[in-house]
Amino acid sequence: MNITVLYGTETGNAEMLAEDVAAHLEGAHEVACTNLSDFAPADFDPGQFYLVICSTYGDGELPASAKPFAEAMEAEMPDLAGVHFAIFGLGDTEYEDTHNFGSRIIAEMLQARGASQIGERVLHDASGGDMADDLAMDWADSVVELAAQQMKEDA
Amino acid sequence: MPASVAIVGTGPSGCYLAQALLKARPDLRVDLIDRLPVPYGLVRYGVAADHQGTKAVTRQFERLFERQGARFIGNLDIGADVTLDDLRGCYDAVVLAAGLSVDRCLQIPGEDLAGVATAGEVIRALNEHPDSKALPPLGRRVVVMGNGNVAIDLVRLLAKSGEELAGTDLGEGPSAWLQSAGVEAIDIIGRSPAAQAKFDPVMVKELHRLAHVRIAVEGAGSTEDAEAQKRLDALAAIDGTTHGDRQLTFRFGLTPLAIEGQDGRVTAARFRDASGVEVTIPCDTVLTAIGFQSCTNLSRDDLLVDALDLDAGVLAAGLYATGWFRRGPRGTIPDNRTDAQVLAARILNDLGETGGKPGLPATEGLVDHAGWKRIDAAELAGARPGRCRRKIADRQTMLEIAQDR
């Protein structure tokens, strides 16, 4: 499968995780790993499966590297019908009221333009006991499998 | 031989810089030098014990040593053990990322009274920094002067109950200090109006979750500025919280005049409000959190005055500065990441294809990454129930563990 791992990061944790996920998938798939700050809405391609990894910063806002992408989405209103994505959020329940809003904003933004979300949005809690890597590898394996079925049915 | 870079200071600024340099040029020799036997500076000793999520950035920084080939040189004080000139002789580029860790003073009468301490001293002692002073006596009525994030960290820790500190790395001594005092009231005083306060809104909003506090906000005023409005909204969101008996009161626009005492011990803090009226707040503890200045054996002021291009972080040929050491005590951990990425590009450009200086020779008494990992393992293994780590606070013990092969 052709996979693009997209990440939105502020402190670099989401970037590190995205690189780990890309490395994990690389043997079996064609994988690219791209910062959302370097990705334009027009770059979406229905032939790719998008794994989005996004943190939350400040008062439940998108992390710095996802902000230009969100602005471009709003300005360009692209049609993302036929695009499949899955999303993994990084957050911290110390900030309970806004926990993992960043990944939610991205998911809603993509769905609003017609993209199909594969699987549940999985949330990591930096204040919890799980390592983000442990959660994310299982998540990546399962959504890649789901996407393979879904994209075959759609085709 | 590829070029060599020494980074003085292993807090976020130094680590982010090393990360950016090695990502672009994996062949570089990058040595991260700390005057302590342990790395990560502010993340280990400045970020509050109950914000373990924020400390997760150290997982990135560990990779510098484990995968990216950076070297850790701990227990080496540049400016004392090795001169800056000697260091520059050993490396093609030297970067000062030593932060700012001495508290600024108010410079008002009464600062030497018993019961007056700086927030930085307290935060360092709470984080068990090996050079910290003993925690000051803590009374029931505390005035915190300042309303930046450091002040809010301190208020939050002082207001938390024992069970709210579960999962932290707060040590036995600091835990007992926080719990035994029986703090009843905390007044948080800002010199500026609320709209110009220094805290991040999310830090203030978090106070609403404290289990045992009543919160009042006095005189927050209004603003036309959208950014400032976020601070006022955050204050409005916590104003009127009634979760318990510990009273937190935010007051703004009060200029400190003096700290008053009796028999050498603080009894009140005196201010002047915006209309010129004097306000006296009775208290038995005053903690000042009004910013930081340089404290290392590096003469920062002289270096900055003579800088070739301070905005770009260039102090002299082959000598650079980043993070708070360059900019002063403003900005968050990710702000320093942005800084580091810009400076890394500049350094790589300046280095070009040149290089070849070999770095510092091996010296007795230093701590390498394996030594730090031994300290780290001992701390993690020693964690008591309800805690994620038991920090070793004593430098000699750290060194013994680090060198115990």
Rounded to whole angstroms, how far apart are CA atoms B124 and B295? 14
- What is the interface size between A and B, counted as CB pairs within 8 Å? 51
Residue numbers of B between 148 and 187 with CB closer than 8 Å to A: 167
Q: B255: number of CA atoms within 13 Å, CB side?
A: 8
> Which whole-number Å values give the CA distances from B306 to A99, B6, B277, in the listed order?
45, 20, 44
**CATH code of the domain covering residue A86:** 3.40.50.360
The arithmetic mean of pLDDT across residues A83-102, rounded, is 86
> Which whole-number Å values give the CA distances from B337 to A36, B13, B101, B216, in the listed order?
17, 6, 19, 36
Task: Quote the DSSP letter at residue B29.
Answer: E
Tell me what pLDDT residue B31 has: 97
Task: With beta carbons less than 8 A apart as the criterion, state whether B60 and B334 touch.
Answer: no
Quick: pLDDT tens for B16-30. Answer: 999 999 999 999 999
> Which whole-number Å values give the CA distances from B105 to A89, B118, B126, B349, in the listed order?
42, 8, 20, 40
Alpha helices, DSSP H, located in A27-131 = 67-76, 101-112
Cβ contact, residue pair A126, B63, below 8 Å:
no
Q: What is the ipTM of this complex?
A: 0.88
Pick the CATH number of B4-100+294-403 from 3.40.50.720, 3.30.300.180, 3.10.20.810, 3.40.47.10: 3.40.50.720
Cβ contact, residue pair A58, B200, below 8 Å:
yes
Domain B104-292, second-level architecture: 3-Layer(bba) Sandwich (3.50)
Examine the pLDDT at A94 and tell me if it is beyond 80. no
Number of domains in chain A: 1
Q: Which residues contact B5 (CB under 8 A, 6 or more apart)?
A: B18, B21, B28, B29, B30, B31, B91, B92, B93, B94, B95, B347, B351
Tell me what pLDDT residue B364 has: 83
Quick: pLDDT tens for B211-245. Answer: 999 999 998 999 999 999 999 999 999 999 999 99
Pairing mode of beta strands B29-33, A84-91: unpaired
Give me B317's structure tokens.
């040929």
In terms of pLDDT, which residue wins out, A77 or B292? A77
Tell me what pLDDT residue A155 has: 66
Tell me what pLDDT residue B296 has: 63
Residue of A nearest to B58 (CA): A13
Q: Identify the CA nearest to B76 among candidates B393, B315, B295, B360.
A: B360
Length of chain B: 405
Rounded to whole angstroms, how far apart are CA atoms B350 and B379? 41
Task: Quote the DSSP letter at residue A40.
Answer: -
Tell me what pLDDT residue B295 has: 62
Examine the pLDDT at A98 and tell me if it is beyond 80. no
Rounded to whole angstroms, how far apart are CA atoms B255 and B257? 6
Is residue B297 marked as binding?
no
Tell me what pLDDT residue A152 has: 78
Residue numbers of B between 45 and 64 with CB closer than 8 Å to A: 50-54, 56-57, 59-60, 63
Q: Mean pLDDT of all residues in chain A?
A: 92
Tell me what pLDDT residue A118 has: 94
Domain housing A9: 2-154
Averaged pLDDT, groups of 10, chain B, 405 residues long: 94 97 96 97 92 92 96 95 95 94 82 91 93 90 93 94 92 91 92 92 93 95 93 96 96 96 96 95 93 73 91 96 90 91 96 86 90 97 94 95 85
Selected residue of B202, B205, B233, B238 to mutate for chain A interface (largest A Cβ count, 10 A): B202
* Surface-to-core class of residue A34, CB atoms within 10 Å of its CB (0-12 exposed, 13-18 middle, 19+ buried): middle
Quick: pLDDT tens for A115-148. Answer: 999 999 988 888 887 888 889 999 999 999 999 8
